[in-house]
Amino acid sequence: MFDDFCEDDLYGDVLRDDLKQWCQFDKRQLTIAFCISDSRFKLSVGLNLPSEVYQSETRVLIRQEILADLGDIIHNDTIRFRNVKVFGMLEQGSPNISSRMN
């Protein structure tokens, strides 16, 4: 059974094991979104998930208020972090969500 919202320990074994299992389902598309207020913590968590998550087609969304160099590196990565997307930055005064999602 899947929850729409999970509030478990992000570094706990239970959640990490669940993520490994959930990303293996063929008939479902798992999306993990991090909308935590601490920008550094979001990036740390979003880029340190179990390797099975990145090897699958699971989308990992990380909300960032400001696009930094690391966000550009993630956006341009086509191998390990190909399904990791940074979104929510302000660009020229308007929310820039859709341009980074593709």
Residue 53 has a pLDDT of: 93
Residue 3 has a pLDDT of: 54
Q: Where are the domains of the chain?
A: 13-101
Answer yes or no: are the C-beta atoms of 100 and 81 closer than 8 Å: no
Answer yes or no: are the C-beta atoms of 83 and 59 closer than 8 Å: yes
Mean pLDDT over 15-37 rounds to 86
Residue-wise pLDDT tens digits, 34-55: 877 887 788 888 889 999 999 9
Nearest to 43 by CA among 21, 61, 20: 61
Tally the residues of the chain.
102
DSSP H/E element including 74: helix 69-76
Mean pLDDT over 11-25 rounds to 88
pTM of the model: 0.73
